[in-house]
Structure 1
């Protein structure tokens, strides 16, 4: 015979709630220590919620909160036959004579019980949603992501804000500088694997939102893939725990995991992805593939190619990856393919603003750099000088506002190749000479860097291998 388990009672403790209110009514100064961490909804009974809300309001206005000043507010709240309870109940609270030193402990217990009630309520909501078979509603996987996000929001709210002394912040800054000095690369963040870019940026720093933008065919995805691969390989080879590399979560909303893998194989073996796709591969190339697969078997690079992700789903998946694989860099390809998850969003500019804010919040919450790719407007094509500017960021000025770093890719060779003059002309000679000078050259323009210089870094770009690499050292500071 099966036994039906009895459900646990709703978690609450009236005595502790009464004890804390007693302390606050007798000694208003205690509120300074707990006022920012305790909210009315944390109390179980509506009466206790109202008493705490009222005394909080009075204390913040610089007034005294005691049974006399609270009497009128509590009477208005109780009304009817219960009005007479206000005098006796407030007097009983003050008469408890609980030690003031217990206040912080009571706050901790009250909050713990509140979270337990929230968890129980969330569990009921999850159970109910799982039983609703709605064609237009979220499927099971989406429900899991929604539940994970709700749990995360509960955990996020539980994290107390902290105020740091300048001495503490100063110590952290000096330790960061010392760490950079001790590293051979002098890079304190995640290395891009590109020397001049690392020198200009100091690596990709935790909590930074880094925007990499360009017009189509400039190599946005190629550069992002190169940076992700370089960081992951540095992490894999980091036997001395130098910390330059990182596990990488790559969210590809445009290309499949297969296509990205083929690009990485192409850049490492020299066999173009186009040849691999068509099967035009020499027999001698296969041993290269075998050797590469052995070397990269443990590469900490994780690709999620789910299309049309919302920012909320992206955060849920990134947080899960960080928990399981300890990733320290997130790449998003690309910004404009993300959604807010709202079906009635008509204002694309506003929607994109919410997306960029969400990416910045994700960088801060997970304490990792987020490298997000972005398209540029067609205004670039209308100008004689095709070098991108901050004003070219497509659809929203919030990208520039929220980003810590904004980088553009500019390949003059791409545009010059389309301006080929007539064969045999004098212009043709100059054109050929200039094309030889800019052959396989790419310029990365750092148009914004919140904590460092702006300028240009020049890289080598091999279009066949979709690979950016170090060029002869040449940087231009603005």
Structure 2
């Protein structure tokens, strides 16, 4: 069954419905799913997951030592894709950690539910919501993890929010050195400038990454951009 809109737009409709009618988000998601011809949101998400697996496709292209930028405007699925990558890594027996300065445990649980993942999915990877998250914290947390461990940072620009931390360009260089020496895989979720939406149609690129302070984007080995339900892996512009 073809959906009336991409999944991220249906989620946006559910959030609007939740606010407008004062109902829990999971109830709003179920109502949107019924309109789309499914019994529940979990059934809809499972069907989409079987037919369209961007996390599996992206994960298959990652290698130990990769530092990956994952960029999109808000609401276009970048955090969900990051969580999906962690679930894919768990399927292969590799550990992982979701470092987030933006989400709480409840937010992560809801996001996993919207992916159609069961309650046990929360145990598939470690979750770090510490306010101390920065390059040094991440490196210390992962120092004993085996080669091939995949971790996701949510998100790039928030590493720059504490003045006591090194400047973000230094942090990214330190993370890059660690990933290369350890054979880890690191995915950094990134914001995209609002100006992108006023430009030509298509997907964003490195030039659209929001950078309040300078970062050498050639440190990333791969970049993936999302917009309006489409995804593109871009290795031409990065090291």
Whether the 8 Å contact between 2:55 and 2:81 is mirrored in structure 1 is: no
Unaligned runs of 5+ in 1: 1-190, 236-245, 270-291, 346-350, 412-441, 453-478
Q: Which has the higher contact order (CA 8 A, sep 6+)?
A: 2
Distance 1:263 1:309 in 2: 21
Is 1:371 matched with 2:178? no
Using the TM superposition, give the Cα deviation of residue 390 of structure 1 relative to its aligned residue in structure 2, in angstroms: 1.8
Distance 2:72 2:55 in 1: 20
**Counterpart residue number, 1:335:** 156
Is 1:353 matched with 2:172? no
Is 1:194 matched with 2:56? yes
**Counterpart residue number, 2:35:** none
Distance 1:340 1:360 in 2: 20
- Counterparts in 2 of 1:400 and 1:344: CA distance versus 1, 3 Å: closer
Using the TM superposition, give the Cα deviation of residue 377 of structure 1 relative to its aligned residue in structure 2, in angstroms: 1.6
Distance 1:327 1:208 in 2: 10
Using the TM superposition, give the Cα deviation of residue 448 of structure 1 relative to its aligned residue in structure 2, in angstroms: 2.3
- When normalised by structure 2's length, the TM-score is 0.67
Whether the 8 Å contact between 2:101 and 2:130 is mirrored in structure 1 is: yes
Whether the 8 Å contact between 1:363 and 1:370 is mirrored in structure 2 is: yes
Distance 2:199 2:79 in 1: 24
1:39-438 matched pairs, under 5 angstroms: 193-195=55-57, 197=58, 202-235=60-93, 246-268=94-116, 292-293=118-119, 296=121, 299-320=123-144, 322=145, 328-339=149-160, 343=164, 351-395=167-211, 398-411=215-228
Distance 1:231 1:255 in 2: 20
Question: Which is richer in helix?
Answer: 1
Unaligned runs of 5+ in 2: 1-52
- Counterparts in 2 of 1:451 and 1:358: CA distance versus 1, 3 Å: closer
Larger Rg: 1
- Counterparts in 2 of 1:327 and 1:340: CA distance versus 1, 3 Å: farther
Whether the 8 Å contact between 1:192 and 1:231 is mirrored in structure 2 is: no
How much is the aligned-residue C-alpha RMSD, in angstroms?
3.0
Using the TM superposition, give the Cα deviation of residue 355 of structure 1 relative to its aligned residue in structure 2, in angstroms: 2.3
- For residues 437-478 of structure 1, what are the alpha-carbon distances to aligned partners after superposition, in whole Å with 9 as ceiling and x for unaligned? xxxxx21122325899xxxxxxxxxxxxxxxxxxxxxxxxxx
Distance 1:391 1:361 in 2: 24
Using the TM superposition, give the Cα deviation of residue 268 of structure 1 relative to its aligned residue in structure 2, in angstroms: 2.0
